[in-house]
């Protein structure tokens, strides 16, 4: 396990009007780690990045780098570089001179400048583009030039503030693979900011989910997706059906009037809980064979699967399946114990997880309404 490189200790940022942007943030980042700050607009992720880079001073709390407090260290004295969404390339310089700019500013010998720039061009797959004008490059190529310019000075940390936001979908996916490869090649710590869950899950070693200035959960992409800590995380990281339930005992939960075997433990007996079931984990079967049965109310073709909305006693589930079931079909579903995830109730309970107001973008989520009688 890599050693700790950066520690944020009890960081708070409050504006003059009293608005709190960061609320007592505590976080540590390991050396050579790819860590992503993930959350909706206004959650505090970019503010956190700016504090690490030295562009903003926290109202209270401390920033430590290699064990030393750096609150008062200016950005240019920190071993940290930043890549922004707008690449800020110099239009009057070619690719080579853009990358070499910082090295020449530091007055490095020209032979060392050439060696470093040549190596970096190979790292970002731009060998042969040295003399190209940056304005003639595609968005993805410009992005790679910006990354090369930030890395050529050999910082210990690279901050990336939604750097793929201006790219189209196909190019964005390609650059996700490129960024992860570059990070692994260079061994530099990457701290990445995004609101895009797919970017976070596909590239990161660690994901930090934020909302309303607070950290909601820290974990690997697999942990965040498979074991969300609250309804906000479950809903923000992929789609989720989130139901009211009661934890009867270890590995036994009740919802929709039925008892289901699960794998979760450590809850109080008869504790009210949130039950999370991912749309891709639901098995559709004939109605008479299902744990639950309901009526298909909406079907949307998504290319690799169908988003199928099914009404179970007034609560509408999202099910993702490669099979087509027309609107009006009466179907059953079966749930495996390992696909039923249990969460403690939180301030977000009841706000997410019912697709009664389903739209293609999942813009509107209605409150859940559970009904049913107990069955064994």
67-113, pLDDT tens digit by residue? 999 999 999 899 999 887 777 889 999 999 999 998 998 899 999 99
Q: What pLDDT, on a 0 to 100 scale, did the predictor assign at position 124?
A: 85
Last-in-domain residue among 198, 223, 248:
223
CATH number of residue 193's parent domain: 3.40.50.300
- Residue 367, pLDDT score: 33
Per-residue confidence of the chain (376 residues) as pLDDT tens digits? Answer: 579 999 999 999 998 888 999 999 999 999 999 999 999 999 999 999 999 999 999 999 999 999 999 999 999 899 999 887 777 889 999 999 999 998 998 899 999 999 999 998 988 889 999 999 998 998 888 888 988 898 898 899 999 998 887 677 777 888 888 889 889 988 999 999 999 999 999 999 999 999 999 999 999 999 999 999 999 999 999 889 999 999 999 999 999 999 999 999 999 999 999 999 999 999 999 999 999 999 999 999 999 999 999 999 888 999 999 999 999 999 999 999 999 999 999 999 988 877 754 433 333 332 333 333 333 3
User: What per-residue confidence (pLDDT) applies to 251?
Assistant: 96
At which of 169, 190, 223 does a domain end?
223
HSE value, Cβ hemisphere, 13 Å, CA-based, for 243? 29
Which pLDDT belongs to residue 33?
96
The residue written with tokens 């607070």 in the block is: 214
Closest to 113 (Cα-Cα) out of 97, 127, 129: 97
Give the per-residue pLDDT at 1.
54
DSSP state of 202: H
117 and 245 co-located in one domain: no
Alpha carbon distance 38, 210 (integer Å): 6
How high is the pLDDT of residue 353? 75
Question: Counting Cβ atoms within 10 Å, is residue 68 exposed (0-12), middle (13-18) or buried (19+)?
Answer: exposed
Instruction: Based on the fold, state whether residues 314 and 195 are members of the same structural domain.
Output: no
Domain that holds residue 108: 4-223
Q: Does residue 299 contact residue 334 with C-beta atoms inside 8 Å?
A: no
Instruction: Indicate if 261 and 200 belong to the same structural domain.
Output: no
CA 128 to chain centre: 34
Residue 368 maps to a domain? no
CA–CA separation, 333 and 189 (whole Å): 44
Q: Are residues 183 and 252 in the same domain?
A: no
- Residue 372 is assigned to a structural domain of this protein: no
pTM of the complete model: 0.85
pLDDT of 24: 96
User: In terms of Cα–Cα distance, which of 40, 50, 7 is closest to 26?
Assistant: 7
Quick one: 157 and 46 in the same domain?
yes
Establish if 232 belongs to a structural domain: no
Q: What does the pLDDT read at residue 375?
A: 36
Q: Specify the DSSP class assigned to residue 329.
A: -
């Amino acid at each position: 396990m890599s050693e700790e490189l950066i520690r944020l200790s009890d960081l708070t940022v409050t504006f003059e009007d009293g608005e709190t942007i960061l609320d007592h943030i505590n976080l540590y980042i390991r050396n050579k780690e790819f860590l992503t700050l993930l959350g909706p607009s206004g959650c505090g992720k970019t503010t956190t990045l700016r504090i690490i880079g030295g562009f903003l001073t926290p109202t209270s709390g401390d920033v430590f780098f290699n064990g030393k407090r750096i609150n008062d260290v200016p950005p240019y004295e920190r071993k940290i570089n930043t890549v922004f969404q707008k690449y800020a390339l110099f239009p009057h310089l070619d690719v080579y001179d853009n990358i070499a700019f910082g090295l020449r500013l530091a007055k490095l010998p020209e032979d060392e400048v050439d060696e470093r720039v040549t190596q970096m061009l190979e790292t970002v797959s731009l060998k042969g583009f040295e003399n190209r004008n940056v304005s003639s490059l595609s968005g993805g190529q410009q992005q790679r030039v910006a990354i090369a310019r930030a890395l050529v000075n050999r910082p210990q940390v690279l901050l990336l503030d939604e750097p793929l936001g201006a790219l189209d979908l196909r190019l964005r996916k390609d650059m996700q693979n490129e960024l992860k490869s570059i990070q692994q090649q260079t061994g530099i710590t990457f701290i990445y900011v995004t609101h895009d869950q797919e970017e976070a899950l596909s590239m990161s070693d660690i994901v930090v989910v934020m909302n309303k200035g607070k950290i909601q959960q820290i974990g690997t992409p697999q942990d965040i997706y498979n074991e969300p800590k609250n309804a906000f995380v479950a809903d923000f990281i992929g789609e989720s059906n989130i139901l009211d339930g009661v934890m009867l005992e270890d590995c036994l939960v009740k919802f929709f009037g039925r008892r289901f075997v699960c794998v979760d433990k450590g809850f109080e007996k008869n504790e009210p809980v949130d039950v999370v079931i991912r749309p891709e984990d639901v098995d559709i079967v004939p109605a008479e064979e299902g744990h639950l049965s309901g009526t298909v109310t909406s079907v949307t073709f998504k290319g690799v699967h169908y988003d199928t909305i099914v009404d179970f006693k007034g609560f509408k589930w999202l099910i993702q399946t490669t099979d087509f079931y027309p609107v009006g079909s009466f179907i059953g579903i079966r749930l495996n114990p390992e696909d039923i995830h249990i969460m403690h109730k939180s301030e977000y309970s009841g706000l997410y997880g019912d697709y009664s107001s389903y739209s293609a973008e999942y813009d509107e989520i209605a409150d859940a309404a559970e009904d049913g009688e107990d069955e064994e």
